[in-house]
A = this chain, B = another copy of it.
Amino acid sequence: MQSMVQKRFLILPPPGDGDNQADLDRLTHALRDEFGAVRVPLDVLLRDANVLRASGYRATATLVREDSGWTLARIQPGDAAARRYGLACDLGSTTVAVQLIDLNAGTAAATRTAVNAQVARGADILTRIFYTREPGQEAARRAELQRLAVQTIDGLISGVLADAGVDPADCPLLIVAGNTTMIHFLLGVDAFCVFSAPFAPMFNRAPAADTRALGFGYEGRLYCFPSAANYLGGDILSGLWSTNLTDSDELSLFIDIGTNGEMALGCRDFLIAGAGAAGPALEGGISKNGMRAAPGAVDRVRIEGGKLTVTTIGGAPPRGICGSGIVDLLAEMRRSGWLNVMGRLEPGASERIVSVPMEHGESEEWAVVYARDNQGAPLTFTQSDIAQFSETKAAAGTMVACLLQAAGVEPGQVQRIYLAGAFGEHLDLESSILIGLYPDLPRDRFVQAGNASLSGARKLLLDRRGLERVEDMLRDLYYLEFAMQPNFLDLMSAARYYPPLPREVRP
């Protein structure tokens, strides 16, 4: 495999008989024909310079691709060329995933995920950014968030290495894909700029670095997937990269919806991408009964013959409803005539639609009782909740419409739709299309991209020319500012409505 990590077992002529070339020159000269001028970082020189001599000049050099050249990452005694691993990491604000890649086989040897320890300093990114802005505490708190991220990744690395029985010395490179803020946090850089006008991040490309310089226990080279803009981070670009979208003749759409929506449209010839706030609806951040995907969250809803049934995560008693449950609930209510094209509940359609007091007020509003908790208390999704969700759905739909409009293409011309991220994986496709979250296109054009951010980091590890290709992708990328589109607000208004039901699903 032509990966970003290469190992070469070298039998070098030992010094003597008037040959007193320096050890490192001996090594770099032997590698020059294949790898050009190899850069030797100071820390590698200090740690490994004596290995050549100690091994009788039979040693294995590990090289890592950085910038436009190769960097020496390690010298190991003897022939260690057969064992070659790398680490891909998706550094999410909530969940962090680390995958150990066998670079010879091109496959994952182990994967682990954990909650980002930064959650202790704020469930969402904005809370964490404000946490770092406590006057007089800025540097200490940035350092704390950095330490929490590093500890989370470090723990996962130890785990996957142990799972697969791999020596860290055989695993010299960690590629981290994360959104712009998460990478600012990882480096300990002030991220306030990412969320405040004029929304210019400090940097898009973190320099290739020694992990020790950031406080990792794991010892290797670190590369962060570059970002393109404040809301178009390395996680999205990594995801895009994973799909081979820009190598294809097929016009493809890439959709990642979470708290933000990130979208891209393109093919071999062009790439347009944009991002915008999608609202917290899908992450359970709306309504008092909304919750993240966790045991007890309603994740599937069906209405058959006027009878509403649910399943919960882990089969636990219902505690609330998560994103996939909300999408199902709204779609099933549309299909059963409980919700009209305006997104309003139809009170006469079911006994489950009841009047409930509005929060902070004396007036009442309609709500659907989608389940009862283990005390028998009703769990409701209100008209206000639906209105909020409609904003999220409208934002996503509008972003897609804007991309299509900017490229001058009709929805039907899109040959492939990649659904990335946790919601892409868990939302029911039919439900999502029915409520207008995704465009209504032939189902075989939809591809579940899973954790595309992690996949992109893995793909980059496996491609020695990947860094240049990613830069090509970044150079060709046109960043569409959705809010600057002239008819954005019109599109957004229209997108709040729920599409008319297709003939075959009408009740």
Interface residues of chain A, those whose CB is within 8 Å of chain B, are 14-26, 37, 39-43, 45-46, 49-50, 53, 67-68, 187-190, 193, 197-207, 209, 213-214, 227, 229-230, 481, 484
Given contacts A16-B198, A200-B23, A202-B22, are A207 and B41 in contact (CB under 8 A)? yes
For the complex formed, measure the closest distance between the CB of A491 and the CB atoms of chain B, giving whole angstroms: 18
A20 touches B202 (CB 8 A): no
B45 touches A207 (CB 8 A): yes
Question: In the complex, which residues of chain B have a beta carbon less than 8 angstroms from the beta carbon of A198?
Answer: 14-17, 19-20
B19 touches A189 (CB 8 A): no
Q: Add 15 more A-B contacts to A23-B200, A40-B207, A49-B189 (CB < 8 A).
A: A18-B481, A19-B198, A20-B198, A20-B200, A20-B201, A23-B202, A24-B205, A25-B203, A25-B204, A25-B205, A26-B200, A40-B205, A42-B187, A42-B209, A50-B202
Whole-angstrom CA separation of A292 from B40 in the bound complex: 39
Between-chain CB contacts (< 8 Å), 7 pairs? A26-B200, A40-B205, A42-B206, A43-B213, A45-B202, A50-B190, A53-B193
A22 contact from B26, B41, B200, Cβ within 8 A: B200
The closest CB in chain B to the CB of A180 belongs to B22
A199 touches B15 (CB 8 A): yes
B484 touches A18 (CB 8 A): yes
Question: In the complex, which residues of chain B have a beta carbon less than 8 angstroms from the beta carbon of A187?
Answer: 42, 45-46
Given contacts A23-B201, A25-B205, A190-B50, are A213 and B18 in contact (CB under 8 A)? no
For the complex formed, measure the closest distance between the CB of A100 and the CB atoms of chain B, giving whole angstroms: 25
Question: In the complex, which residues of chain B have a beta carbon less than 8 angstroms from the beta carbon of A68?
Answer: 37
A202 contact from B24, B41, B193, B230, Cβ within 8 A: B24
Q: Which of A20, A39, A41, A213 has the most CB of B within 10 A?
A: A20
For the complex formed, measure the closest distance between the CB of A493 and the CB atoms of chain B, giving whole angstroms: 22
For the complex formed, measure the closest distance between the CB of A134 and the CB atoms of chain B, giving whole angstroms: 17
A39 contact from B25, B67, B201, Cβ within 8 A: B67
- Copies of this chain per assembly: 2
Whole-angstrom CA separation of A441 from B16 in the bound complex: 37
The closest CB in chain B to the CB of A481 belongs to B18
A206 touches B16 (CB 8 A): no
Q: Chain A interface mostly helix, strand, loop or mixed?
A: loop
A45 touches B189 (CB 8 A): yes
A200 contact from B15, B41, B193, B484, Cβ within 8 A: B15
Question: In the complex, which residues of chain B have a beta carbon less than 8 angstroms from the beta carbon of A39?
Answer: 67, 207
For the complex formed, measure the closest distance between the CB of A388 and the CB atoms of chain B, giving whole angstroms: 27
Question: In the complex, which residues of chain B have a beta carbon less than 8 angstroms from the beta carbon of A40?
Answer: 203, 205, 207
Whole-angstrom CA separation of A23 from B206 in the bound complex: 12
A42 touches B204 (CB 8 A): no
Question: In the complex, which residues of chain B have a beta carbon less than 8 angstroms from the beta carbon of A189?
Answer: 45-46, 49
A200 touches B45 (CB 8 A): no
Question: In the complex, which residues of chain B have a beta carbon less than 8 angstroms from the beta carbon of A45?
Answer: 187, 189, 202-203, 206-207
Whole-angstrom CA separation of A198 from B190 in the bound complex: 52
A20 touches B203 (CB 8 A): no
For the complex formed, measure the closest distance between the CB of A36 and the CB atoms of chain B, giving whole angstroms: 11
Whole-angstrom CA separation of A187 from B50 in the bound complex: 13
Question: In the complex, which residues of chain B have a beta carbon less than 8 angstroms from the beta carbon of A227?
Answer: 22
B200 touches A21 (CB 8 A): yes
Whole-angstrom CA separation of A25 from B481 in the bound complex: 19
B49 touches A202 (CB 8 A): yes
Question: In the complex, which residues of chain B have a beta carbon less than 8 angstroms from the beta carbon of A204?
Answer: 22, 24-25
B203 touches A49 (CB 8 A): yes
Whole-angstrom CA separation of A24 from B53 in the bound complex: 42
The closest CB in chain B to the CB of A479 belongs to B20
Whole-angstrom CA separation of A53 from B202 in the bound complex: 9
For the complex formed, measure the closest distance between the CB of A488 and the CB atoms of chain B, giving whole angstroms: 13
Whole-angstrom CA separation of A316 from B339 in the bound complex: 108
B188 touches A46 (CB 8 A): yes
Whole-angstrom CA separation of A227 from B22 in the bound complex: 9
A23 contact from B20, B42, B203, Cβ within 8 A: B203
For the complex formed, measure the closest distance between the CB of A140 and the CB atoms of chain B, giving whole angstroms: 15
Whole-angstrom CA separation of A22 from B200 in the bound complex: 5
The closest CB in chain B to the CB of A188 belongs to B46
Question: In the complex, which residues of chain B have a beta carbon less than 8 angstroms from the beta carbon of A230?
Answer: 20
For the complex formed, measure the closest distance between the CB of A350 and the CB atoms of chain B, giving whole angstroms: 47
Whole-angstrom CA separation of A53 from B45 in the bound complex: 36
Question: In the complex, which residues of chain B have a beta carbon less than 8 angstroms from the beta carbon of A25?
Answer: 203-205
The closest CB in chain B to the CB of A71 belongs to B207
For the complex formed, measure the closest distance between the CB of A492 and the CB atoms of chain B, giving whole angstroms: 18
The closest CB in chain B to the CB of A49 belongs to B202
Question: In the complex, which residues of chain B have a beta carbon less than 8 angstroms from the beta carbon of A202?
Answer: 22-24, 45, 49-50, 53
Question: In the complex, which residues of chain B have a beta carbon less than 8 angstroms from the beta carbon of A24?
Answer: 202-205
